[in-house]
A and B are shown apart, each in its own frame.
Chain A
Amino acid sequence: MDAVKKDVPVHVLGELEDEEYHPSEEQDEPIGQAEVDVVMRLLKLADRLHLQKFSMQSMVLILKMLWNVYVNNYHQPSTHYPPEEGMEILRLWLRCINKLLHSAHSALMRTHLEELGLVTTINSLIDIAPKFHLDIHQ
């Protein structure tokens, strides 16, 4: 982990290790479609590389960002965003969360999910995922 931290730009690590960092402040910041596209590409690659080429700090930031994008853009009754895009985000998000919850980073991941108030939601989603053909184990 230390080796990973050494390579991560200080301004990202600094935020997470600094107690002044407030994830909730980030939730209100709009995120552009171009940024979502890049985040999705990065997360897919991270997933394909078995989450080994991403620091947990960046991973948590990205997972929080994507959750906010999903909730604000896709999980709305009157949304004009294509549902299949939302499903792709949710599927990738769940798969990464599930992997992390079963990894050495489980405790840290659970803490961040608790911050988002998502522990119950995640457990439910992981339970029902197969019913919606969300193969989160691949």
Chain B
Amino acid sequence: MLTLIDQYTAFEDKPIDQLAGLVVTSTRDEEIKARYVVYCMFLIKENMEPLLMGALSVLDQCFSRHSYLIDYVDGKLYGHILRLMRHPQRQISVAALDVINTVAYFSDGICDEMMELPTSILDETYNRLVYESRQPRQ
């Protein structure tokens, strides 16, 4: 773990919400882009709470503009994104939904990990983010 953190020390002096712009516009080096993606996946896997929103945003923008970066996705990431879709903060749930939506768009939704998502996941997200919010408050 220390090795991994050491590896990304160079990124940690930058606010995570500024990383997306750096990655998609300023950085031409594909290896650096890939490292940003891996870094964000690391933040998500380790549940670095204050940085989750930024990490999801970076991933979504990276995948949207550079779809080849999806190749760097570790299959286990879907499990972590799934957990974030259940996050109590609505904006994190929606950001997680955006990431998985973008990945599904570029991978045609047919990758094995995606199809292994629980059958009820979209129902559950719908119920929590839309249906329940429309019910009269007690």
Q: Which residues from chain A sit less than 8 Å from chain B, CB to CB?
A: 3-4, 7-9, 11-12, 29, 31, 35, 37-39, 41-42, 44-46, 48-50, 52-55, 57-58, 61-62
With A4-B120, A52-B115, A55-B123 known as contacts, the answer to whether A39 contacts B130 (CB < 8 A) is yes
The stretch that binds A, out of B19-27, B32-40, B64-72, B93-101, is B93-101
B132 closest partner in A (C-beta) = A11
Assess the A49–B129 pair: CB atoms within 8 A. Answer: no
With A29-B134, A38-B129, A45-B104 known as contacts, the answer to whether A50 contacts B109 (CB < 8 A) is yes
Does B77 make an interface contact (CB < 8 A)?
A: no
With A41-B97, A41-B98, A41-B101 known as contacts, the answer to whether A46 contacts B130 (CB < 8 A) is no
Does B127 make an interface contact (CB < 8 A)?
A: yes
Does B6 make an interface contact (CB < 8 A)?
A: no
B131 closest partner in A (C-beta) = A12
With A31-B134, A58-B122 known as contacts, the answer to whether A38 contacts B115 (CB < 8 A) is no
| CB-defined contacts of A37 to chain B, threshold 8 Å | 94
Assess the B119–A4 pair: CB atoms within 8 A. Answer: yes
The docked-state distance in angstroms from the alpha carbon of A80 to that of B126 is 27
Assess the A55–B101 pair: CB atoms within 8 A. Answer: no
Interface residues of B in 50-105 (CB under 8 A from A): 94, 97-98, 100-101, 104-105
The docked-state distance in angstroms from the alpha carbon of A46 to that of B131 is 17
Specify which of A3, A7, A45 is in contact with B123 (CB 8 Å cutoff).
Answer: A7
Assess the A45–B100 pair: CB atoms within 8 A. Answer: yes
A13 closest partner in B (C-beta) = B123
The docked-state distance in angstroms from the alpha carbon of A48 to that of B97 is 13
The docked-state distance in angstroms from the alpha carbon of A11 to that of B124 is 11
| CB-defined contacts of B104 to chain A, threshold 8 Å | 45, 48-49
| CB-defined contacts of B5 to chain A, threshold 8 Å | none
Does B108 make an interface contact (CB < 8 A)?
A: yes
Assess the B101–A44 pair: CB atoms within 8 A. Answer: yes
Does B15 make an interface contact (CB < 8 A)?
A: no
The docked-state distance in angstroms from the alpha carbon of A11 to that of B135 is 11
Q: What 8 A-B pairs are tightest by C-beta distance, nearest first?
A: A7-B120, A48-B109, A48-B104, A54-B122, A49-B109, A58-B123, A45-B101, A38-B129
Assess the B109–A8 pair: CB atoms within 8 A. Answer: no
The docked-state distance in angstroms from the alpha carbon of A58 to that of B127 is 9
Apart from A39-B130, A42-B125, what are 12 other A-B pairs with CB-CB below 8 Å?
A4-B119, A7-B118, A7-B123, A31-B134, A35-B133, A35-B134, A38-B125, A41-B94, A44-B105, A46-B122, A49-B122, A54-B122
Assess the B126–A58 pair: CB atoms within 8 A. Answer: yes
Does B48 make an interface contact (CB < 8 A)?
A: no
